[in-house]
Structure 1
Amino acid sequence: MSYITCKDLAVGYDGRAVASGLNFSIDKGDYLCIVGENGAGKSTLVKTLLGLLKPVSGEIKFGDGLTSRDIGYLPQQTPVQKDFPATVWEVALSGTLPKCGARPFYGRKEKQLAQSQLERLGMWDIRRKCYRHLSGGQQQRVLLARALCATENLLLLDEPVTGLDPVATAQFYQMIQQLNENGVAVIMISHDLRAIDCARHVLHMNHGGSFWGSREEYKNSRYWNIISVEYEKGGGQSAAC
């Protein structure tokens, strides 16, 4: 059974849809890239999948034991968030909060989980450093560790390479690819079409409709012809996936 199935989904605010007719699913181990125009409803869809907004119409079904609380979320960073005055350890450990239940403190299991994820992403040796003093690539690794502390079933990444240099971007894509190959399902929202080279499926959202299908199907569609021309004009390159 799919982790998430959306049928005739419309998302928006106060009963007014900003995107409608969305039909797609996310299976265990899947890798979905969501692309499209600004204002097409990508961020609204993210909030709806996370349970922060109710669907305007249609339905979202969670399966295989997954709920909206079992999604590890890496949000798009703001300047304020990048300047957050906490240590690497504190940021990663905060991802285990949902596992603490009613306990007002972190237990041994939560601390072991945070340590294992920081070690996994090469951040354990700098766990005492202040998050605000890290490079952009290092900050994203720490946030990814926090998301993995919440769950290893499904990661939702919102514009994760924005502001990263080309080397850090390539490293981040490779890291996500490795996690996916180890069974972690991925949903990545991106304006960087290099992300599509890593995905198995693509959801393209725009004001005139939407497309969902395999990467190969997408690259043979009219949506790809339009968006790739614009991206190439901007000097886009392929990802190393």
Structure 2
Amino acid sequence: MIQMSCKGLTLGYNSALVQNLSFTVAEGDCLYILGENGAGKSTLMKTILGLLTPLEGSVDLGGGVHANEIGYLPQQSQAQRDFPATVWEVALSGCQSRCGLRPFYTQEEKELARQSLRRMDMERFSKRCYRELSGGQQQRVLLARALCAARKMLLLDEPVAGLDPAASREFYQIIAQLNEKDGVTILMISHDMEAALRYASHILYLGEKVFFGTRDAFAQSNSGRRYLEQGEGGRAWHC
């Protein structure tokens, strides 16, 4: 079942970063979005979320997915890492989109926040100050927050940026479990080619030539082979 269809997208601000981009996302996909810095990856994600309007084309949701039910984990700024709130308050704020005009959270929403923290193994830290946590723990809390909004789809913008290798591996495994066992559709911006070739079902590569297709097809494409060769040469598998 198709949950998202992007047709003829031209993305940018004063000038176009990406032109005539079309791809689809089906229920249960794990789409990694790769590309050079400045290629338009974050612009695409903001357009999908409705935070930016495409210069041309459209983003259409289907399969029971609604715009206010998409979970989003953005990149963190240093100010956000130092946010003086408790773990519980950060997680619960993910339910804001469910509140509408209500100035309070329902018991059902509070239970959802508890369950989301529990899924991330962070419930025991509920009373801790968010800024006192490690980078990996903070990402778990933010993912719990995103899950409070997510019904069927989760968008992540470089979620392992700044994490050490062990924390990154652990986070990738959490995302894979959400995708494979819980059936959450994943769209993730990444610079990690190795993770993409391990966990992605599909890859969207933004560059001089745009690629969209399965992980295996990407590995056989010119872009995929180039980055595989870089990895074998001892350089970072980054794009």
- Name the structure 1 match of 2:193: 193
Q: Counterparts of 2:235 and 2:138 in 1: how far apart (Å)?
A: 26
Q: What is the RMSD of the two structures over their aligned residues, measured on CA atoms?
A: 1.4
- Checking the alignment, whether the CA contact within 8 Å between 2:155 and 2:187 is kept in structure 1 is yes
- Which residues of structure 2 form unaligned runs of 5+? none
Residue 67 of structure 1: CA displacement? 2.6
Residue 73 of structure 1: CA displacement? 0.3
Aligned length: 235
- Checking the alignment, whether the CA contact within 8 Å between 2:227 and 2:237 is kept in structure 1 is no
Alignment-mate amino acid for residue 220 of structure 2: N
Q: Counterparts of 2:228 and 2:151 in 1: how far apart (Å)?
A: 32
Percentage of pairs with the same residue:
52
Deviations 1:40-84 (A, max 9, x none): 100110110000111111221111122322210000111111111
Aligned ranges for residues 1-241 of structure 1 at < 5 Å? Answer: 1-14=1-14, 16-181=15-180, 182-196=182-196, 197-206=198-207, 208-232=208-232, 233-236=234-237
Deviations 1:11-37 (A, max 9, x none): 1114x3111121211111110000011
Q: Counterparts of 1:107 and 1:69 in 2: how far apart (Å)?
A: 18
Residue 235 of structure 1: CA displacement? 4.5
Alignment-mate amino acid for residue 125 of structure 2: I
Alignment-mate amino acid for residue 52 of structure 1: L
TM-score (norm 2): 0.94
Q: Counterparts of 1:61 and 1:135 in 2: how far apart (Å)?
A: 37
Report SS of the residue matched to 1:46. Answer: helix
- Which residues of structure 1 form unaligned runs of 5+? none
User: Where in structure 1 do 4 or more consecutive aligned residues deviate above 6 Å?
Assistant: none
In 2 relative to 1, CA 130–62 (structure 1 residues): closer, same or farther, beyond 3 Å? Answer: same
